[in-house]
Amino acid sequence: MQAATSCDLKFRSTTPTARRNKRFSHAIPKRVSVTCGYRSESFSFPNGVSVNRADWQSSCAILSSKVASVENSGGLADKIAAVNGHTNGSVNLGIVAVESTNGKLAPVPVQPLTITDLSPAPLHGSSLRVAYQGVPGAYSEAAAGKAYPNCDAIPCDQFDVAFQAVELWIADRAVLPVENSLGGSIHRNYDLLLRHRLHIVGEVQIPVHHCLLALPGVRTDCITRVISHPQALAQTEGSLNKLTPKAAIEAFHDTAAAAEYIAANDLHDTAAVASARAAELYGLNILADGIQDDAGNVTRFLMLARDPIIPRTDRPFKTSIVFAAQEHKGTSVLFKVLSAFAFRNISLTKIESRPHHNCPVRVVGDENVGTSKHFEYTFYVDFEASMAEARAQNALSEVQEYTSFLRVLGSYPMDMTPWSTLPPPSQEDV
């Protein structure tokens, strides 16, 4: 597990303040935030994890070297809470101070937390906790619901927070996007796949159906600004030029968060490009439905878990690997790697290159002739075969001869479900 030093997860029970708008306050119960520790701004999300989970997560943060530097003056529990960023309204951790032999207060020795203390595996019939990036109403939430129906969805403000949520047993699974049919690959998540030790256990594909949302009573000709994720704005550029030709286009970090921002701040001159689900959650009206320029707009999500699944051969499987080529094998290494699959009639569905972070540049040549610099890459490959098949095992055995490292990210069932460009049914229609 990667130590959460640069990005510590925090859980905080909150009560909505700026979001008490009557249009959507009924949909916002008591909340728990899942945020990145170095972010100055945090989000609050409904239907999150329980307060008990916040208790033990805060306890995890306390088990650090910072506790040893706490002075004896004042309450010990207050000092420890201040160390971890919990000041006003922090969770009561129930820490008891005892008197030592020299008459000074000292904390009770704490036993290391075990997996059982953190979170047991879900019992039969209980719902999985699935982490996703975004806020309720995001397309990632819909992907989590398709991957694990009736799951307990846990919103996270960043992709790496979702990875850490699974590693720290806050969530059982994570569902994160890796590519879009129009926007291409999401490079951040490819880098995180290599940095973390989670396994791919499945995939889901979600059609993207964009809507133009605004507050009730706002007309299209009153819109002076449109906000959304840069990808959503690019995918609806043609429609926005027709619907709101004079409006300024501004990028936002998330589609559903843009809708939430408009509702929370009562912005009557601003519209958002988001899903119909976001309109329902935050009390907005749909000014235009299905405004994506291309109907074939699909995003592929990966399902991640702490443990891999057992590959099978009774249904179509896909396997994802990452490797780096050996320097001394020459420039034809990539061709040899691809040939290992071609000779065994294994179809490749994706190949992606990313800079080699440990060795981004390789210098070739000598002082007399001169030197040249070659960029080094790691390659991500998806191929249609199960690791339970001999041909896949033999292919990777040959690939290993030409690579400095090779890692199987997962062997998992392919998403074979048909999808439609029609909008998903609303909660009232279900």
Taking the C-alpha atoms of residue 236 and residue 348, their distance in angstroms, rounded to an integer, is 31
Strands 199-207 and 211-214, how do they pair? unpaired
Reduced to 3 states (helix: H, G, I; strand: E, B; else coil), residue 5 is coil
Of 152, 231, 139, the residue nearest 424 (C-alpha): 139
For residue 287, give the DSSP letter: E
Check: CB of residue 168 under 8 Å from CB of residue 188. no
How far apart are alpha carbons 114 and 94 in whole angstroms?
A: 19
Q: What stretch of H or E contains 356? A: none
**For strand 225-228 and strand 248-251, is the pairing parallel, antiparallel, or unpaired?**
parallel
Distances (CA, A) of 398 to 261, 328, 337: 52, 16, 8
Separation between Cα atoms, residue 47 and residue 371, nearest integer Å: 58
Radius of gyration of the chain from its Cα atoms, rounded to whole angstroms? 25
Helix or strand run (H / E) with residue 268: none
How many angstroms separate the CA atoms of 96 and 409, rounded? 44
Residues contacting 50, CB < 8 A, separation 6+:
32
Q: Among this protein's residues, is 343 annotated catalytic?
A: no
Identity of residue 49: V
Tokens of 234: 């690019």
Write out the two tokens for 171: 């969530």
Gap between the Cα atoms of 327 and 403, Å rounded:
9
Element (H, E) at 26: none
Catalytic residue among 11, 45, 301, 341: 301
Q: Active-site residue 224, yes or no?
A: no
Catalytic residue chosen out of the listed positions 35, 255, 299, 403: 299
Question: Which ranges of 16-105 does DSSP label H, i.e. alpha helix?
Answer: 51-62, 76-83
What number of CA atoms fall less than 13 Å from residue 231's CA on the CB side? 20
Q: Which residues are catalytic?
A: 299, 301
